[in-house]
Amino acid sequence: MSDRWMVQNWTTGQLNALVKNLGEENARRIQRGEVRVVLKEVLKTLFDKRGRCVPEGLSARVRDPDQNFRLGRPKLKQEVNYANRILRLHGELSVYTGITAERFQQETERLLSLVRDNSQIANIANGVWLPIVLPRMETDDVGAELERYLEAVSRSYIKAFGNREFYNYRKGTLASDVSVIDSSHHNQLIERMKREPVIGIHFPNSLQGFSINASREQMATLPKGFILSGLDTAIAMLMYPDVLARDYRTPGLYLAAFSRRSANYSFCFVVVEDVSRLDFGRTDSPSNANDSYSSGLLFLG
């Protein structure tokens, strides 16, 4: 009876693979009853060794990332590095969040520990990560808030690269015309920003090669604490233009949590090919996958 059961339900290859995983000597000891097997659930790793989300079971389009489009890592080892980024945020956005460089660094280290201590998501920290401070919202209109951030992005970008310019193709059109995608969890961030400034870690190219639809679909597989990027991408661009808009070979960045109410598309940043300008504008169809573009993820713990 046991032989027939094995023949019906196991191939020779599967049996060989099982013995290989156990180790031949271990398998023989189990068969002789010398040791007992204790089964332990192995959780799937959600990010690969480069920090990119592992696409699995998605119906929307995904392409392998073009490795020619990549980001560098900023220096973030000392308190002064954090201070410089906060000063850029406060100065270009004309706000004061009340968050010190010390607190910024400590909260970043706490959030990174949460990531690295979780084997399912630890690999995301192998990619580029950018600590950001999202200021308290001045209005309930997400589009108007984004418009304000983009004006600050322009000032920050031009200050970082004096011979370049920023062009906002959607200037003056975003108020009352930006909606938040439910599956993105971005409304959780917005509710917190209505009460207080928020510190988080932005992972800008963790979804490179994913279509916008795939990025939104992927959120169902990620644990609590992750939010699909929208406002945080604009803040990250404001605080780190030297990283996110270094040159043409930086990935284009989708704001995949957002959709325009009057049309079926989202928004993105992209450095034009001659590296003379950073553009903000509409995307193409959210179903299209581009290997040099990425949605971002924000981790709030």
Select from 176, 169, 229, 165 the least CA-distant residue to 200: 229
User: Would 63 be classed as within a structural domain?
Assistant: no
Model confidence over 137-162: pLDDT tens digits? 999 999 999 999 999 999 999 999 99
Domain assignment present for 124: yes
User: Between helices 101-116 and 79-93, what is the axis angle to 10°?
Assistant: 110
What pLDDT is recorded for position 1? 43
> Is 11 in the same domain as 106?
no
Question: Per-residue pLDDT averaged across 286-298, rounded?
Answer: 97
pLDDT at 7 over 60: no
Regarding whether 207 and 144 lie in a shared domain, the answer is yes
Domain presence at residue 41: no
**pLDDT at residue 4 above 60?**
no
pLDDT > 70: what percent of the chain? Answer: 96
Q: Are residues 14 and 132 in the same domain?
A: no
Asked whether residue 129 falls in the same domain as residue 193, the answer is: yes
The verdict on 180 and 277 lying in the same domain is yes
Residue 61 in domain: no
Tell me the pLDDT of the chain averaged across its residues. Answer: 92
- In this structure, is residue 50 part of a structural domain? no
**229 domain-assigned:** yes
Number of domains forming the structure of the chain: 2
* Structure confidence at residue 24 (pLDDT): 85
CB 112 within 8 A of CB 125: yes
What ranges in the chain are assigned the alpha helix state H? 2-9, 12-22, 24-32, 79-93, 101-116, 142-160, 186-195, 212-218, 231-239, 241-244
227 occurs within a structural domain: yes
Whether 62 has a pLDDT exceeding 80, the answer reads: yes
Instruction: Mark whether 133 and 231 lie in a shared domain.
Output: yes
> Do 86 and 27 have their domain in common?
no
Say whether both 16 and 115 belong to one domain.
no
> Is there a single domain that holds both residue 121 and residue 239?
yes
CA pair distance 49, 65, nearest whole angstrom: 14
My answer on whether 139 and 204 are in the same domain is yes
Question: Residue 51: what residue type?
Answer: G
Please determine, for residue 216, whether its predicted confidence score (pLDDT) is greater than 50. Answer: yes
Lowest mean pLDDT among 12-16, 173-177, 247-251: 12-16
Asked if 84 and 28 sit in the same domain, the reply is no
**Range(s) of the domain holding residue 15:** 2-32
Confidence (pLDDT) at 42: 63
Contact between 238 and 149 (Cβ < 8 Å): yes
Q: What pTM did the predictor assign?
A: 0.87
Same domain, 83 and 145: yes
CB 204 within 8 A of CB 122: no
pLDDT tens string 78-136: 999 999 999 999 999 999 999 999 999 999 999 999 999 999 999 999 999 999 999 99
* Inside any domain, residue 10: yes
Tally of CB atoms within 10 A around 186: 24
